[in-house]
Structure 1
Amino acid sequence: MLRIAVLGAGRIGKIHAANVAADRRVKLVAVADPYKEAVEALAADLGCDASLDCKSVVDREDVDAIIVGTPTDTHIDLTLQAVRLGKPVLCEKPIDLDIDRALAAVEEIERLNGRVMLAFNRRFDPDAMRLKQAIDEGEVGDVRQVIITSRDPGLAPREYLRHSGGIFRDMTIHDFDTARWLLGEDPVEVMAMGNRLIDPGLEELPDYDSVMVLLRTGSGKQCHINGSRQAVYGFDQRLEVFGSKGMVLNENHRPSSLRRWTSERTEAREPLLNFFLERHADSYRVELDHFLMALGQNGPMPATPRDGIRALRIANAAIEAANLGCAVRI
């Protein structure tokens, strides 16, 4: 039985730890986080060890694999520490906000033949996986256009935004990875615009809260991404793929699929799920499953650190394009 430690007891760490604890194929040995109250409460709830020192947990002989859900600026050190000990890692995105540091880390991981999966969890959303399957099976023919809508229900706390790396590197980077995955090619050019339509005060960071992005691949495939930090009706996430034989799309999730017709309203439905942890609860479980399958079968990781580099390059180009107001080659 694979023995796993989860680093981080925040909202992502809690999700990973709970999924590991619930999986009969593995054992949750420990959770680690410097915030004593959070980590002790999580460990007590899941019946594992608690530690305030992430690095010491990585070193433990009774830990076979690591899940990194700590702040971004700790990802490289903790991941490389585990890789040097021969331990596989599931690391939250991004590897780092700085492309040079991230690239150096990826090259070191590859030199050491490290088994590292980057947690682009939207690849593992069941609806998105079925959509990708339809593409792979030729249902839409040659992919021509991908349209991605990605809107959070509310603006994140200012302190989070201050250290997030900006909307393109923090939020839209998921969409950049999804675009690459669905298009089947890397974009070569990006056009982007960013505005502060929700909170003009974000200029001090500086950051945007509303963005639109156009991507073009070498063969001419197109992708349009629209993102917003605030959608008053809930977590709005939709994918559409248009091709030579037709189109596939997935819709938003709701607590219930029930629809009502009355004299006062037509097709009344439940509101959208209101947080990404609710919307993507399944994808985090499936993500862990694919990590474990890759390890058990000694197969390739389904999302690699190199995928993280490619998504970060697109994010950096989008920032440049938004700031300059012109198309940027990637």
Structure 2
Amino acid sequence: MPFALLAVIALVELATPGWLRLGPVLAAAPVLAAAISGLRVTAAVAASAIGVKALIDMDFERFGSFTSQVVNIALVAVGLASVLACSIRLRRERELTQVRSVAETAQRTLIRPLPARVDPVLLQGTYMAAEAEALVGGDFYEVLHTPHGVRLLIGDVRGKGLPAVDASAALLGAFREAAHHEPCLADVARWLEGSAHRNIQRLYGEEFTERFATALLVEIPDEPVVRLVHCGHPEPLAIHHGVIHGRGAAEPGPPIGLADLVESGPMVETIPFDVGDRLVLYTDGVIEARDRSGRFYPLPERMARWSAHPLDQLVAHVRADLRRHAGGDLNDDAALLAIERLPHPG
């Protein structure tokens, strides 16, 4: 583009009367090169601009005149400034690339890539952060193979930004530890409650009753059942023979961080989960996404279109459809995790 701009200016200069001087416009070429090209290209464009100006002056027999010399000095100054600006831009871009690389590594450590399969289940998930240029936010999920079966956690910290990410990291760390040690899923939820009181109040610097996290804990043993602990989280959707229905808790527990406000503790609910059955977990960012007319995203209705598709296609369709529904931008983080029971390897 900078060289094309030089050629266009030169042709227009040669095709117009001599009194119409476009030589100073040549300075736009090195400025453009500094914005979009590398250091060598910028230097070459700056030198070419001076050369083209000299050729034009010789063609019009005004080389060496006072006006010509002033324009040449200006082109040299603009060329040197463009090379310097290009050098600064490239250095800033390298720094930004390094910072983004570190940030992406840290975020992927928090929300680790899901394995395609953890016996006896098939897994697919997606995460859409509301913050621009972010990979994760206040929503979180984790899947672990433990001595007590496959255990999953999906949750949503109240709030946004770095404090929400830090709170998510604290809860994920607690789950990764408790899931291997606590034989009862309700005790894992109590462990998360203790972690919340120790960490999230420190992060937000206020009474923890103003900050909480909804969560859903899932345990898939070798038997054809699934165990759930609801902590103020949206109910999962179960798919049995292509039919979708919600799995709300008979006695849902309070969100993580609000257990002191109620007398009852977390309760474990057991529901059938046989070979071929599916369970879809999600955060409120999915079902609360609005279109331009203010309508919420109808997850069960839309998901029914693809309930018979392979699990990866089901998640991909829901993700793309959610983006279209929200007009490309989500107002809240959104996470979705789909699970399918597989035949036992034995």
TM class by shorter chain equals: under 0.3
| Larger helix proportion of the pair | 2
Superposition TM-score, scaled by structure 1 size: 0.24
More strand by share: 1
